Chain A
Amino acid sequence: MNRLVILGAAAAALAAPLPAQTLRVVTSTTDLHDIAHAVGDDRISAMSIAAGYQDPHFVEAKPSFALKLGKADVFAYVGLDLEIGWMPTLVDAARNRRINRGGSGDVDVSRVIPVLDVQATADRSMGDVHPRGNPHYWLHPENGKRIARLFRDKFSELDPEGAATYRANTARFEASIDSTTRALAPMLASIRGQPVVAYHTSWRYFQEFTGMNIVGFIEPKPGVPPSPSHLAGLIQQMKRTGAKVIIMEPFYDRKMPDFVARNTGAKVLVLPPSVDGVKGVDSYVELVDYDVRRLAEALR
């Protein structure tokens, strides 16, 4: 009798539905992480390799990241060679077929993005250029929606049971972006056409979104620190164009922007290019909202 009870209990345990397995998602940046989380919610577990206040070009390929990638079902990355300095090492070290090129979990997000600044010809005398296009595309909310749709499709493919949840979450995410951009309309109108200077070419898509007019860069070429003669030329250009704001990322040194600001009367505005780039910017929607509001305030 006891045996029958034990066998029955074992059979019941085997027949009971298994708890839903969460998709293990690793992203290269916090922006992709937040959008993945918005789409996947509690059906996925997600982690980002780069921190939001870190330059995503220069991430150390730590073995601990390889451990995380080794268990990942999905590895979503910005692409366009943004992560070229560290991603190949990590993907090799992860030894995970799912995230190898062409694997079921290999998600190059750039493939759904209409890319700007593709270089017809490029060499390294032009600085740290990305020949396949500017990779900072997440700073345009329409691209945020495209990323969400890509995640919805990928997560649905790997976890068909969650497809309805992913669809609903994506719709909710898109609606929150739309309501945020509607609320930002007056500020966007005030930014349109205003001359600004940026530190790096990170703000190209944000420029398309806001209509701000980038008239110069602190870096003479992408990734190349400025020389005194470049800064002198930039100061003249700012005076000529009336640029009153210098936008920089939190991971750059303020010395050069402050120097230019002192010589032009401009303000230095530290804007996070990514989620968690500064305190209080904890989601993608908050990032868009924060950056537009701060820029509009600085230009006022």
Chain B
Amino acid sequence: MRTIFLSSALVALVGATATAQQPDTTARRDSIARADSIARADSIRLVRELERIRGEARPPQQIGGMAPTPATQPTNPSLNPNISVIGDIVVDASPDGSTLESARRFDVREIELALGANVDPYFRGDFILGISDEEGLAIEEGYLTTTSLPWRLQVRAGRFHAPFGKQNTTHRAELHTIEYPHVIQRLLGAEGGKGTGLAVSKIFSPFGFYQELQLTAIERFPEGAHEHEGEEEHAFEGEPLAPPNKTLRGLGYTARFRNYWDIDESTNLEISFSGGTGRIAEPFGCESVLVPGELEPCPGPDGETALLARQSLIGADATFRWRPLQQGLYRSLILQAEVMRQHNDEPALPSGLPGSAAYLGPTEETTGLYVFGRWQLTRRLFLGGRYDWVGAAAEAERDLSAVSGYLQFFPSEFSKMVLGYENLRPDVGDRVNRLLLQMTLAIGPHRPHPF
């Protein structure tokens, strides 16, 4: 080891002498030689110290009650992936009974098991398994991400949160609020919109600020909960002539264009635009002969009971952040707003059906938005509020609207408690008061989340 080091030092010295091109004074040369000599002595001492510590069975020498240890020791010699677990526990203390999807008062809403590591010099792998009473074990996300493509390109393959809108790309347990905004739940799903496929993104800055274009092609466009509060799902789903993915036109596609500006060192603004489209199988039916008023499947000429309908979604979001650098542990502000509009095509029914035949998929245009703000009160306490609005659908009585407030307490970076109150005026039925308590905890080296 020492021989190798001394040889390297000799080669470096010879090389350095050979490459020195600037005229040096004698004093300067002496000074450099002295510095090199000190540096080599220090390096030799450090190497010896390393060898001594490695060779000793007993603990290293104590200095001031603390042990100096080289930082170069391997920290993960088995190359194991990082393993983290995130628990999301919700208590519903609403006065009129549980308002959770599970209808429980105390619910372990989900446990996420996250594993991640570099696969090789070209890919990183991230896998997140969701465990819940409702869904059992499910693949929440699982994707490979390229790490070394040129031109600031990145490709992701697998299942992931579709890059549509701002909050949709954040896991539910890590939101500032207890649930996704209503517009996301309605148009993309209660757990946000996910897709399995390919995503390509490119970063650029032709105007001096950050811009990113994200494009995805996914197996199936994320479907929101397009049936409304109080409305029952149809008893049948129907079978289309061919699955949506038979042609490339039937896949889901999304695009997101991010623009980010630093206003000053404490303040920044992001304004982004999203769009998506895909074809979804929706049933059609005819009035039952036996039970008048009820719909039942009535196959088309080729036996199909569903049609492929195109659904498109556009959105825009803006996020303003303020966090003074020096007082950043204690003061910060986030203001965020997002608006989405969904358009549903109504496909023509097959010919030859009875006169009572009707298309049962969504046909309305739906628009929704939310405005969210969060103010940091102390190092561990935050106060937030959100206003939600989703326009009335054809069958609904009125627009959905909700006002909610949140008090967040972070005992540490790895645990969070949120007390939330929401006054919800659903599109059908009575106004609901909701009182929720969420506890989230993360164990293991869970990777930080994107800004």
Complex Cα distance, B268 from A66, in Å, reads 14
A66 touches B31 (CB 8 A): no
B450 touches A133 (CB 8 A): no
Interface string of B288-307 (1 = CB under 8 A from A): 00000000000000000000
* One of B107-115, B322-330, B384-392 contacting the partner: B322-330
Query: Within B388-432, which residues are at the interface with A (CB < 8 Å)?
Result: 412-414
* One of A228-236, A237-245, A250-258, A287-295 contacting the partner: A250-258
A67 touches B203 (CB 8 A): yes
Give the shortest distance, in Å, between B29 (CB) and chain A (any CB).
9
With both beta carbons as reference points, the residue of chain B lying nearest to A117 in the complex is identified as B66
Q: How many A-B pairs with Cβ below 8 Å?
A: 167
Query: Within B207-221, which residues are at the interface with A (CB < 8 Å)?
Result: 209-210, 212
Give the shortest distance, in Å, between A188 (CB) and chain B (any CB).
15
Asked, given contacts A95-B154, A118-B69, A170-B35, whether A58 binds B328 with beta carbons under 8 Å apart, the answer is: yes
* One of A7-15, A21-29, A79-87, A260-268 contacting the partner: A79-87
Interface size range on B against A: 35 or more
With both beta carbons as reference points, the residue of chain A lying nearest to B152 in the complex is identified as A95
Query: Within A158-201, which residues are at the interface with B (CB < 8 Å)?
Result: 160-161, 163-165, 167-168, 170-172, 174-175
Asked, given contacts A93-B203, A168-B28, whether A225 binds B71 with beta carbons under 8 Å apart, the answer is: no
Chain A residues with Cβ under 8 A from B258's Cβ? 63
Interface string of B268-283 (1 = CB under 8 A from A): 1010000000000000
Which among A102, A114, A132 is the interface contact of B49 at CB below 8 angstroms? A114
A54 touches B148 (CB 8 A): no
Chain A residues with Cβ under 8 A from B42's Cβ? 145-146, 149
Chain B residues with Cβ under 8 A from A252's Cβ? 329
A45 in contact (CB, < 8 A): no
Chain A residues with Cβ under 8 A from B39's Cβ? 145, 149, 170
Which among B35, B327, B450 is the interface contact of A167 at CB below 8 angstroms? B35
Query: Within A35-90, which residues are at the interface with B (CB < 8 Å)?
Result: 51, 53-55, 58, 60-64, 66-67, 70, 79-80, 84-86, 88-89
B68 touches A51 (CB 8 A): no
Chain A residues with Cβ under 8 A from B63's Cβ? 116, 208
Complex Cα distance, B21 from A165, in Å, reads 9
Most A C-beta atoms less than 10 A away, residue of B71, B212, B414, B450: B71
Which among A80, A84, A161, A171 is the interface contact of B31 at CB below 8 angstroms? A171
* Tally of contact residues, A, Cβ under 8 A: 68
Most A C-beta atoms less than 10 A away, residue of B147, B149, B203, B326: B326
With both beta carbons as reference points, the residue of chain A lying nearest to B449 in the complex is identified as A89
B447 touches A88 (CB 8 A): yes
Complex Cα distance, B49 from A113, in Å, reads 11
B450 touches A64 (CB 8 A): no
B22 touches A132 (CB 8 A): no
Give the shortest distance, in Å, between A198 (CB) and chain B (any CB).
14
Which among A100, A160, A224 is the interface contact of B147 at CB below 8 angstroms? A100
A124 in contact (CB, < 8 A): yes
Which among B145, B260, B330 is the interface contact of A253 at CB below 8 angstroms? B330
Chain A residues with Cβ under 8 A from B26's Cβ? none
Chain B residues with Cβ under 8 A from A168's Cβ? 24, 28, 31-32
A128 touches B412 (CB 8 A): yes
Complex Cα distance, B204 from A297, in Å, reads 51
Which among A89, A146, A175, A251 is the interface contact of B327 at CB below 8 angstroms? A251
Complex Cα distance, B203 from A96, in Å, reads 11
Give the shortest distance, in Å, between B445 (CB) and chain A (any CB).
8
B329 touches A58 (CB 8 A): yes
Interface string of A91-126 (1 = CB under 8 A from B): 011011100111000001011111111100000100
B203 touches A95 (CB 8 A): yes
Give the shortest distance, in Å, between A230 (CB) and chain B (any CB).
15
Interface string of B317-346 (1 = CB under 8 A from A): 000010101111110000000000000000
- Beyond A96-B152, A114-B49, A116-B68, 13 extra complex contacts between A and B, CB < 8 Å: A60-B451, A62-B262, A66-B203, A85-B448, A92-B147, A93-B450, A95-B154, A124-B414, A167-B16, A208-B63, A208-B64, A225-B380, A253-B379
Q: Which residues of A contact B (CB under 8 A)?
A: 51, 53-55, 58, 60-64, 66-67, 70, 79-80, 84-86, 88-89, 92-93, 95-97, 100-102, 108, 110-118, 124, 128, 132-133, 145-146, 149, 156, 160-161, 163-165, 167-168, 170-172, 174-175, 204, 207-208, 223-225, 250-253
**13 A-B pairs (CB sep. < 8 Å):** A60-B328, A63-B451, A64-B262, A89-B447, A92-B145, A95-B149, A95-B152, A111-B72, A145-B42, A160-B19, A163-B19, A165-B22, A175-B31
